[in-house]
Amino acid sequence: MIVIAYKERIKPEHLRILEILLTRTKISRDDYYYFLNLKKGFEGELVFDAYTKQFKLDHFFLNDLQLEIRRAPFQVDALMIRTNLLILYEIKNFEGIYKWRAEKFTKTTGTELENPSLQLQKTKVCLELLLQEKGYSLKVDAYVIFVNPEFTLLGTPNDSNFILPSQIPGHFRNIQAAPELNAEQIKLAETLMNLHDSSYPRKKTQYTYSDLKKGITCPECGTLAEKFSGYSQVCTKCGNKMNVNKAIRSSIEDFHTLFPEIKLTSRRMMDWCGCGNDMRVYRVLKKNYRMIGKNRGRYYI
């Protein structure tokens, strides 16, 4: 049996943007806490993915679906497609000791979190409506799965749709091997993939090119080197010996992530990569990207 990730999980674009900005500028307090939440959530999703691979579940998984029903957006963290059943997972990476309440989880320190079963129920209803609209009548089971081993929830009702950390192995072991997926299940997976909207508007962080420090980043720790020389150099923070050409290429990719609408020109990338051998930047562009146009109108894709 194998796990088939029909839609692989990728790092959220906004998380990647904030990671880059942290190396090149100061971000607001709100953006920093938003970054921490995004990072923690993504790490939790990776833990979930590791479980599905560990127990070798022979099913399709669709990850990070951004869908819409009747102009109402909803997000699916993970969806398992079985022969006659869909299993919806809301993944949480909470940590600490909380007490269950119908609407909130409360911590002894006073911290409160919305009971995620409220969001799960909303997502389940939206998914069922969308399936009906597309002509599918499949049962949907839904769970909130808590992947952090340092999370404890006191007073959980016996009939809750929660999977606590100690229950995860048993949950996946109890999922019976499914018959080979037929064309109908494959068609459903493709339908949901086509409905996924990767460009759905999300929280935006404001930044401008002039406000960002220029240089190349260490691939190990992300420290910015504003000057570079030779084929390799040692990171001043972590001591990693980094390949300058690879660091230049990575920095060019960072630029494209931050400014996808701006053309990659050799002059712009030489400025972006900081103080160093401009010909080296040019050679990295020429080797790894396709040149469009000539002379002053030349750019790379």
Helix pair 244-258, 278-288: axis angle to 10 deg = 70
pLDDT at 58: 56
Check whether residue 169 and residue 92 sit in a common domain.
yes
pLDDT at 3: 41
Check whether residue 144 and residue 233 sit in a common domain.
no
Whole-prediction pTM: 0.86
pLDDT at 226: 87
Check whether residue 30 and residue 163 sit in a common domain.
yes
Domain-ending residue, one of 148, 164, 195: 195
How many structural domains comprise the chain? 2
Check whether residue 11 and residue 154 sit in a common domain.
yes
Domain assignment present for 202: no
- Cβ atoms of 45 and 89 closer than 8 Å: no
Check whether residue 81 and residue 160 sit in a common domain.
yes
- Cβ atoms of 273 and 249 closer than 8 Å: no
In whole angstroms, give the CA distance from residue 202 to residue 44.
20
pLDDT at 202: 64
Domain-ending residue, one of 153, 172, 195: 195
pLDDT at 208: 93
Q: What digits encode the pLDDT tens for the residues 159-179? A: 789 999 999 988 888 876 655
Spell out where the chain has E strands: 4-7, 60-69, 72-81, 85-92, 96-100, 104-107, 112-114, 139-146, 151-154, 162-163, 216-217, 224-225, 232-234, 241-243, 291-292, 299-300
- CA-to-CA dists, residue 160 to 41, 45, 120, 121, 145, angstroms: 22, 21, 12, 12, 11
Check whether residue 181 and residue 257 sit in a common domain.
no
pLDDT at 4: 44
Domain assignment present for 251: yes
pLDDT at 1: 34
Check whether residue 144 and residue 21 sit in a common domain.
yes
pLDDT at 99: 93
Domain-ending residue, one of 134, 165, 195: 195
Check whether residue 25 and residue 154 sit in a common domain.
yes
Domain assignment present for 287: yes
Domain assignment present for 36: yes
Domain assignment present for 205: no
Spell out where 82-223 has E strands: 85-92, 96-100, 104-107, 112-114, 139-146, 151-154, 162-163, 216-217
Check whether residue 31 and residue 82 sit in a common domain.
yes
- Cβ atoms of 38 and 14 closer than 8 Å: yes
Burial of 227 by CB count in 10 Å (0-12 exposed, 13-18 middle, 19+ buried)?
Answer: exposed
Domain assignment present for 201: no
Check whether residue 133 and residue 243 sit in a common domain.
no
Check whether residue 223 and residue 99 sit in a common domain.
no
Domain assignment present for 294: yes
Domain assignment present for 191: yes
pLDDT at 5: 47
Range of the domain at 36: 4-195
Check whether residue 67 and residue 151 sit in a common domain.
yes
Low-confidence ranges of the chain (pLDDT < 50): 1-5
